[in-house]
Structure 1
Amino acid sequence: MTRVTDDDAEPRRQIGALPFRRARDGSDRILLVTSRESRRWVIPKGWPMPGRKPFQAAAQEAYEEAGLRGHIGKRPIGYYLYEKRLKNLDAVLCQVKVFPLRVRKQLKHFPEEHQRELRWFTPAEAAEAVAEPGLAAIIRAAARQARAPKP
């Protein structure tokens, strides 16, 4: 794999959704999906979409990759960096803007259902499952925020 080494290059921008729900036992759960190529656990994410605001594009990615519908936050809860491997085996640095998605419904059929595995994790398990330290930090912070008492 060749790494793109232009240190002055701006990271490529992506958007992602952090899907969460409350389980029947009252505990919080985070949904992760596998990436198509490396099969790592990640959040639904992709490139910005012309004509859509970043949070709308994040909600669309969550639908396409995991069949999720729900309420997407309009403000990002964080950003993280990762290296994306391209089809030509080069790698580019990407910055992902993450929006919270409160899942209302998980559809049985969706565009990428045969390309990905989905799994609901506790926040601690999700933070351990992802490879990117920045994404793990966002998951941990979101879990702390969810447990914080409301004023």
Structure 2
Amino acid sequence: MKVSLSRSFVKGDASWLQGLLGLFYKPARLQIAALCMRPGVTENEILLVSTRDTGRLILPKGWPESDKQDHETAATEAYEEAGVVGRADPCALGTFSSYKGRSDGSKLRTRVLVFKLQFEKQLSKFPELGQRQILWLPFSEAVDRANENNLKRFLRHHRAEIA
């Protein structure tokens, strides 16, 4: 009796397995964040904004924009969410894992690419005015008040470059 195996098994094609795993595993999506800093009395102050749905305190962040470099997107997010204008470093400070809440209650796993932004000014009118709480906090307090453990770890890890 001769047994024939499908070519996908013989050639090592595991597309069927990748399709099955796709039902259970979703790759991280990239978001771009602005780590806005300004001089404080004893240490630099960090900007945290609340999410619109749950009120968690996070960095201003959003999805990459195809017509902008990532550091430009970070500056755009700072402006849109908090009215902050400044110069974003073209080199990312680093990344951390996060989750993006969705309107259906589910969470989308994300990877957040963080760019430092040196504060120049804060405008009184901006696109998301009144939709978020905006807090400038001394570095140590910002770490305590941030509502994402991975963001807290990220800030602690990069303290020397921030505070």
TM bin (shorter chain): 0.7 to 0.9
Aligned twin of 2:95: 79
Aligned twin of 2:4: none
Q: Distance in 1 between matches of 2:129 and 2:73?
A: 18
Structure 2 length-normalised TM: 0.81
Structure 1 length-normalised TM: 0.87
Deviation at 1:146, TM superposition (A): 4.2
Match of 2:125 among 109, 121, 124: 109
Aligned twin of 1:97: 113
Secondary structure of 2:120's counterpart equals strand
Conserved 8 A contact 2:43-2:139: no
Identity across matched positions, percent: 33
Conserved 8 A contact 1:64-1:112: yes
Residue identity in the other structure for 2:55? R
CA deviation string 1:65-116 (max 9, x = no partner): 0001111011111111112111122211011100000101011111101101
Query: Which of the two has greater strand per residue?
Result: 1
Count residues with an aligned counterpart.
142
Q: Distance in 2 between matches of 1:81 and 1:114?
A: 28
CA deviation string 1:4-42 (max 9, x = no partner): 9723x210111000000002x353100111010110101
Deviation at 1:49, TM superposition (A): 0.8
Deviation at 1:50, TM superposition (A): 1.7
Secondary structure of 1:36's counterpart equals coil
Q: Distance in 2 between matches of 1:141 and 1:22?
A: 20
Aligned twin of 1:18: 35
Moved more, 78-87 or 133-142: 133-142
The structure-2 alpha-carbon separation of the partners of 1:5 and 1:94, relative to structure 1 and needing over 3 Å to count, comes to farther
Aligned twin of 1:119: 135
| Aligned pairs (5 A) from 1:1-151 | 6-7=24-25, 9-23=26-40, 25=41, 27-146=43-162
* Structure ID, larger Rg: 2
Q: Distance in 2 between matches of 1:146 and 1:113?
A: 26
Q: Distance in 1 between matches of 2:161 and 2:146?
A: 19
